[in-house]
């Protein structure tokens, strides 16, 4: 009987976790900005670009946003949270920014490798 009760408890807890949905908020930038990324680079952000929100900071006066594996902060007044029905467009905007960032990272790595190993 104890085993059955333990199994049912485990099943109920697992079912609840499986039903949980991951929620990702996106923020749209309202003005052109230069952002200092955590990887040390500076990224020019254009008005209308969208990024996933990682967290709020300093009593909701700043947003921590993500670009690939890096993060950066913007003032809350410089961005707006995207509504649920605008999220697909925000994801597409983020993918464009992500692709551009990754191409820049690849070019920097290639330039460093070529400088380290001249032919």
CA–CA separation, 26 and 105 (whole Å): 23
Question: pTM higher than 0.85 for the full model?
Answer: no
Task: Tell me whether residue 36 is in a domain.
Answer: yes
81 in a structural domain: yes
Count up the domains in the chain and report the number.
Answer: 1
Identify whether 9 is part of a domain. no
Assigned domain for 49 exists: yes
Question: What is the mean pLDDT, run by run of 10 residues, along the chain of 119 residues?
Answer: 51 49 86 91 91 91 92 94 94 92 82 80
CATH of the domain at 46: 2.30.30
Within 5-58, strands assigned E span: 26-29, 33-36, 42-45, 50-57
């Amino acid at each position: 009987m104890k085993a059955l009760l333990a199994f049912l408890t485990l099943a109920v807890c697992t079912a609840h976790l499986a039903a949980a949905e991951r929620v990702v908020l996106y923020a749209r930038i309202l003005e052109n900005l230069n952002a200092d990324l955590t990887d040390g680079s500076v990224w020019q952000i254009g008005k209308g670009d969208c990024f996933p929100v990682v967290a709020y900071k300093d009593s909701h006066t700043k947003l921590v946003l993500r670009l690939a594996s890096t993060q950066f902060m913007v003032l809350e007044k410089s961005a707006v949270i995207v509504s649920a029905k605008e999220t697909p467009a925000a994801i597409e905007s983020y993918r464009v920014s992500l692709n551009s960032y990754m191409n820049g990272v690849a070019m920097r790595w290639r330039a460093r490798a070529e400088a380290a190993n001249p032919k």
